[in-house]
Amino acid sequence: MNKLILVTGGTGYIGSHTVVELMNEGFDVVIIDNLSNSEKSVLNGIAEITGRRPFFEQFDICDKKRLHDFFRIYKKLDSIIHFAAYKAVGESIEKPLMYYQNNLTSLMNLLEGMIEFKIPHFVFSSSATVYGQPDQLPVNEEAPFKTADSPYGNTKQIAEEIIRDTVNANDNLKAISLRYFNPIGAHSSALIGELPRGVPNNLVPFITQTAAGVRNELKIFGDDYNTPDGTAIRDYINVVDLAKAHVVSIKRMIEQKSKSDLEIFNLGTGKGSSVMEIVNAFEKSTGEKLNYKIVGKRAGDVESVYADITYANKELGWKAEIGLEETLLSAWNWEKYLRNKKR
Ligand code: NAD
Ligand code: UFG
């Protein structure tokens, strides 16, 4: 399909992998990114993998006038996939207004542009964080929102409401909100991956940096949860599998298969893994020994969350295919590529 797709945040972690999958499927892509959390060199990785270069525009989507000018130039847009957002949970607690401002203003500017310029399809990056600690596991899309643990989580809940109200009020607008569980790993080529700034908050980049000797030791946050080995459980999903679900979502809207104006899908594997299981799987797949120690729980962490993926399976015909060990190995290969580049 040679339709033109706007990918906001397309030089970021999940965005860059999605751009690759879109281009592999024949879509044309224009990225908007202000590079607040990514680098322009990511475009080289994308070009090397796909043999093509996406269009790239560097600016802040919160700049309404600049975005309006963009829509006037790129008249043939078919769909928007909106990744651009700030995503650090801890930082959002310290700087809530920065998070509300960036994550919600960017969304509203895009939706206004879609209405004015008649762009019919929208895919939104939501998060399992909207569920908090669910009452039932695996958690399905019908589960109620729990009070969000952070301003970041609030922005995802509010964003889904903004999108719902907007599609309800506009006949020609369709949206799909994808609730990601824990995206990990990198492209198998090791040419694109996650670029954490400073000390990583997330488990897998912390693991790979520890194995690479950048960090002294991994701290495992809590071993007295009510889980089989006492460590917390999450649903870790390969970022390429996750990216493919965006392509499927775009095609679903183009082919007019949506069952409602806003559809919501969980994107996970359906299987929970504990922190200790991730550590063991990493050691097994890479042959690296990890230096770790158990410390107290991290504030705000839930005990266990993993996805019910029945709905995504049935409606999108999508499921995660890459196993945990292969995924952790891809994360490790990416870390080694980064270290070599820095030498
Ligand atoms: P990322 O930080 O790697 O990518 C986001 C990109 O958006 C960055 O390149 C950044 O420079 C850009 N950006 C941010 N604000 C912008 C603005 N106002 N204008 C233009 N560009 C802007 O993050 P990611 O991990 O790829 O996450 C993508 C999306 O998925 C985010 O919305 C995030 O909240 C959501 N999400 C991520 C995870 C995860 O664990 N990574 C989990 C659930 C949901
Ligand atoms: N963990 C450690 N040590 C670390 C880092 C993490 O033990 O150094 C543990 C955490 O306590 C948690 C698990 O590893 O039990 C996963 O932690 P992450 O920080 O990797 O991921 P979270 O589940 O906390 O959060 C992620 C995203 C959020 C998103 C949320 C939705 O980072 O943006 O998933 O489920 F909101």
At 343 the pLDDT is 59
Distance (angstroms) between ligand 2 centre and the Cα of 209 equals: 16
Q: Residue 65's Cα: distance from chain center in Å?
A: 27
Contact 328, 281 (CB under 8 A): yes
pTM as predicted = 0.98
Using alpha carbons, list the distances in angstroms from residue 201 to 65, 87, 135, 141, 156.
34, 11, 26, 26, 19
Atom of ligand 1 nearest to the CA of 84: 7
Helix (H, G, I), strand (E, B) or coil at 5: strand
Q: Rounded to whole angstroms, how far apart are CA atoms 303 and 293?
A: 19
Atom of ligand 1 nearest to the CA of 38: 9
Tell whether omega for the bond before 134 is within 30 degrees of 0, i.e. cis.
Answer: no
Higher pLDDT, 279 or 1: 279
**Lowest-confidence region among 28-37, 45-54, 58-67, 146-155:** 146-155
Distance (angstroms) between ligand 2 centre and the Cα of 11 equals: 22
The set of protein residues with a Cβ atom below 6 angstroms from ligand 1 is 9, 11-15, 32-38, 60-62, 83-85, 87, 102, 106, 125, 127, 180, 182-183
- Protein residue with its CA nearest to atom 21 in ligand 2: 202
Distance (angstroms) between ligand 2 centre and the Cα of 186 equals: 17
| Residue 149: pLDDT band with limits 50, 70, 90 | confident
Amino acid at 273: S
List, by residue number, the catalytic residues: 152
Among the bound ligands, the one closest to the CA of 84: 1
Contact 275, 293 (CB under 8 A): no
| Residue 336: pLDDT over 80 | yes
Q: Rounded to whole angstroms, how far apart are CA atoms 273 and 306?
A: 9
Q: Rounded to whole angstroms, how far apart are CA atoms 184 and 320?
A: 12
Residues 261-308: pLDDT tens digits?
999 999 999 999 999 999 999 999 999 999 999 999 998 899 999 999
At 129 the pLDDT is 95
Q: Rounded to whole angstroms, how far apart are CA atoms 75 and 313?
A: 34
Among the bound ligands, the one closest to the CA of 42: 1
